[in-house]
Structure 1
Amino acid sequence: MIVPELLPRTGNEATQINPPNAVYHISTHGSDWLWAAFSLIAFCFVCMFALSFTRPRGRRAFHHIAMVILLTSSIAYFSMASDLGATPIDTEFRGHHETRQIWYVRYIQWFITFPLLLLEVLLATGVTLSDIMMAVFAAWVMDVSGLIGSLVASTYKWGYFTFGCVALFYIWYVLLWSAPRRTFAEEGELKTGYLLSSAYLAFMLITYPICWACSEGANVISPTSEMVWYGILDIIAGPFFLFFFLFVTRKVEYHSFGLHSGKYVPHGEPVHPKAAEAGRV
């Protein structure tokens, strides 16, 4: 007689080992997709880590920011693929006491990664530190509003959705209006790279509220479809964007960014005068 417990396990058993805690939850196929997304993001982290060593010390700031983003996303997707990091919340437009998985681990991920994505782009401009901090704060408002709204079962969730949209409009203002009108250390390559990157990022950011409205908001799509949608967005706005940004700014002299901390400057490298004037050295 074969004891079932001794049979070898095959396939993805995340939803069996960590049973879903809500009526509407991700399927095994949803978990499969999350494992695939995790594998891709983790692979991109390893590539970014290796790529950073092609740059000399003191010139790896953008690579290091990208590594933090990718590692944070990898941990979040590992958690979601394992069917962990969610809590059941009563749905607004479903039957009475029918619950849906709300993935708070995703909002923890975004709380770290969204501000860093903005930082990655805005550090390439002449935007002041206070303006950058306001943009970072707006990203936090957007993320926290989405989290609170997703945890609210009543129509009051749409009030938090509105707060998040207002924060998004401010981010758009900084990315598309304010920053392009500031001084760039190198008007050619650097400004062109920034305009391409900021347009890319601004477009991607508007797609997140749309997904939120269809999933955590109105519960129109299933948690599995939500995972596929958000996963595609996170991959395009994360690994793809980061490699794209580094590619379009690859020819810019690093000292033009004015990112030296004062603790390490490569021997013989001049400090760019506009960086010094901006007070970023």
Structure 2
Amino acid sequence: MGNSALDLNPPNATFHLSTHGSDWLWAAFSVFGVSLLTVVAWTFTRPRGARLFHQIAIVVLTTGSLAYFSMASDLGATPVPVEFRGEGTRQIWFVRYIQWFITFPLLLLELLLATGLSLSDIFTTLFMSIVLVITGLVAALVPSTYKWGYYTFGVSALFYIWYVLLWHGPHTTFAAGGVLRRGYLLAAGYLSFLLLLYPIAWACAEGGNVISVTSEMIWYGILDIFAGPIFLFFFLWELRGVDYATFGLHSGKYTDKSAYAPNTTHAAGTVPATTSTGAAGNV
């Protein structure tokens, strides 16, 4: 499958993806695809009103599957002149940054919704994750040494994310109690460690042209699998016994039949009574 992909979509740069790299990307695509189907099936085993975290995982895994399908097909890259270690151009995979632009904030949202952080704190943290991804993309597309200025801005945003994940978040009150706090601490530490490896990979790949494009794909692919399917399965498993009502996630809509009190007739212009779980049923 890798051979036909490279034949149909020839590489467009001096430093480009190899056949073995394409084969690895097809394998990574398979991991994301199988994980997606598994989470979709898992979601239907959950009651309505207790699917939010699983649905976030579905979005993350769907985006990752599409991105890896594109990269395995040798699509979604543009040539950019290299700064170090040779002359010519290197494939810069903008489709990967589109993937991260969608998935990175959602992974953080998955974690931070379990904490007692305010909405403004969560919003700022998600914004910093977008800054990290966008500065990485701009830096990768800049052929001159100015790319390292954008790289510095991105790393600065990452320090803020680490602060929230490892310090601010753990010091809030967890509505679901100590069990969820323990799961959060493990997941936050795990994700923070992976986030340390992404800037290192960028400096060796898009930034310094030290490693080949195929090695880049292997490195990023391993990180994405650990930060995507493996992280999500672990975190969802930790949430399996948590009462979603403790999160206070309410849609504010009353379209579900369960939102109405049973055997109650309502006069025109009156507001129907709700059960304790009715508002959350559409989350």
TM-score (norm 1): 0.90
Q: 2:159 aligns with which of 163, 169, 186?
A: 169
Q: Does 1:43 align with 2:51?
A: no
Structure 1 residues 201, 11: closer, same or farther in 2, change over 3 A? closer
Aligned partner (choices 67, 84, 87) of residue 75 of structure 2: 84
**Quick check: 259-268 or 199-208, which moved more?**
259-268
Matched, 1:132 2:156: no
Q: Distance in 2 between matches of 1:166 and 1:195?
A: 22
SS in 1 for 2:90: strand
The aligned runs of 1:169-188 (5 Å cut-off) are: 169-188=159-178
Residue identity (%)? 65
User: 1:138-149 alignment to 2 at 5 Å?
Assistant: 138-149=128-139
1-structure distance, mates of 2:234, 2:139: 32
Cα deviation for residue 269 of structure 1 reads 6.6
1:24 aligns to 2:15 (yes or no): yes
Shift of 1:152: 0.9
CA–CA distance in 1 between the matches of 2:182 and 2:91? Answer: 42
Q: CA deviation at 1:154?
A: 1.1
Paired with 2:187 and 2:253, the residues of 1 have a C-alpha distance of: 29
Partner amino acid, structure 1, of 2:120: S
Long gaps (5+) in structure 1: 1-9
CA contact (8 A) 1:189 1:251 kept: no
Local SS of the residue matching 1:89? strand
2-structure distance, mates of 1:182, 1:165: 25
Question: Residue 76 and residue 246 in structure 1: after superposition, are their counterparts in 2 closer, same or farther (change >3 A)?
Answer: same
- Residue deviations 1:226-255, cap 9 Å, x none? 000000000000000000001122221111
Residue identity matched to 1:49: V
Q: How far 1:95 sits from its partner (Å)?
A: 3.2
Q: Is it true that 1:215 corresponds to 2:205 in the alignment?
A: yes
Distance across 2 between alignment mates of 1:259 and 1:125: 12
Distance 1:118 1:124 in 2: 10
Partners in 1 of 2:2 and 2:91 — Cα distance?
23
Superposition RMSD in Å = 1.8
- Runs (4+) off by over 2 Å: 262-271
1:175/1:269 CA distance change after superposition, 3 Å:
farther
Query: Structure 1 residue 189: deviation in Å?
Result: 1.1
Quote the offset at 1:194 in angstroms: 1.0
Which amino acid is 2:19 matched to? T
SS at 1:155 equivalent: coil
Provide the C-alpha distance between the structure 2 equivalents of 1:118 and 1:142, rounded to a whole number of angstroms: 13
**Alpha-carbon displacement from aligned partner over 1:169-192 (angstroms, at most 9, x marks no partner):** 000011111111111112221111
Q: Give structure 2 stretches of 5+ with no counterpart.
A: 260-273
Do the aligned partners of residues 11 and 21 (structure 1) sit closer, same or farther apart at CA in structure 2, a change above 3 Å counting? closer
1:4 corresponds to which residue?
none
Q: Secondary structure at the match of 2:79?
A: strand
